[in-house]
Structure 1
Amino acid sequence: MKDMKPAGRMWHLYKMGGITPAITSMFNVQSAQQMAFIRSIMKEQRKNSLYEIPLKTVELVVFDLETTGFSPYNGDEIISFGAVSVTGDALEEDQTFYSLVNPRRSIPDEIVELTGITNDMVNDAPDMINGLRSFLEFVQQKVLVAHGTGHDKHFLNSALWKTSKVNLSHRMLDTMMIAKWLNPKLKSYDLDTMLDLYGIEVTMRHHALEDALMTARLWGKLVSEIHAREIHTLGDLYAQLSHQA
């Protein structure tokens, strides 16, 4: 290809192959590869129909994020990923994922105090596109589970859009929503309350992997109660939860 200014090069690539290679060409080669992988994961996920899978055999990834704040659309960023694989209600403790992420911004003092993650700790950590790719390689096509998914979903969508111009297409389950259905009279459904209610040992709070492990143990307790309500497939569970929204 002849030497071109960036705008001209993008226009040429757009005419040749569409917007994806045009956007991708503006990144370095490694970033382009990461972006292509992330986009392919989201595309494949949209093809999958998971509704008939029994809850006793469904493959899940329970995850948690730590972030610089609460608003990904106002400059806050992910600073760590933590995740663990679960099959049915069985926690696979040897199948875990943890990564710090360099947010390319200063971590506020209150977040350092809350999470223990300092600016020095993330200086040499992977940037967002590499951290996100590693996380998605661990997740593959599995259903995602988190406690209070709104926060995590917003941050994942923001990161996916910034890096790869795609949105999250994985199915998600929210242990907080499930707990509200199973225990409708409680005053609070935060993770600490749920861990106490179900007798789950608290190891380390506000550490992405430890929170993911505790949430996975909570999921295991909830699944037993879900089966007792004659809910046996993923589709049945989604149908039940749709009435709670």
Structure 2
Amino acid sequence: METIDFDRLTLTPGMRVLDIGCGEGRHVHAAALENVREVVGIDIGRENLTAAREDYEAYIAGETDVPVTFAAGDALRLPFADGSFDVVCCTEVLEHIPDYEAALDELRRVCKPGGTLAVSVPREGPERVCWALSEEYHQVEGGHVRIFDRDELQAAIERRGFRRVDDHFAHALHAPYWWLKCLWWDRDQRDEAPLALRAYDRFLEWDVLESPRPVRLLERALDPLVGKSVVYYFELEGPA
């Protein structure tokens, strides 16, 4: 399930792509199937990196010649030289970082002048519903530490020399799932989730695996209304 729409990016064979907070590698895997020079995914979680490598070897490696690297790393101290990447992705990460502006400084540092930054965070409206339904949702270790205001986040990124070129909402069908999950948070944590939540979970798994066209069209229609994530695309001003 990809949040970044790679069709909105202009990717060429010479480009290096970095995914910060890559998790289990969904965007790394997608980028590796594009026409690029190299893809790097970093994450602070060792278990995530192990899963990402395993899925890459199982499903992606035989489909592409693009070199892929997974490495441990912290968004506040990226282990790369200035201007190392043509495309920098950071999806559903900044809401977990107390000093997110320091993370933005690092995103800016490793992005080449003329390069592209793709960022997503939880959308303010659906996220406020989650916080209202469950305090535990945002108090768990490693959980969300803030609700982003769209304009505030955009302004923070633009202060670093980026220019917004596109944006959209994503994952509308996931918003009700998380509302239900928050509503029954205690029961879910005890593996006693109600039937409705378990059924919705199976539906989303089926959707991710099968990607049926009618469901994709439905979500696309609902994204502007209740999309759980907001996705921004920026260009770093300066010569490419």
Q: Same fold by TM-score, threshold 0.5 exceeded?
A: no
Give the alignment's TM-score, normalised by structure 1. 0.30
Higher relative helix content: 1
Higher relative strand content: 2
Give the alignment's TM-score, normalised by structure 2. 0.31
Q: Specify which structure has the bigger relative contact order, considering alpha-carbon pairs within 8 angstroms and separated by 6 or more residues.
A: 1
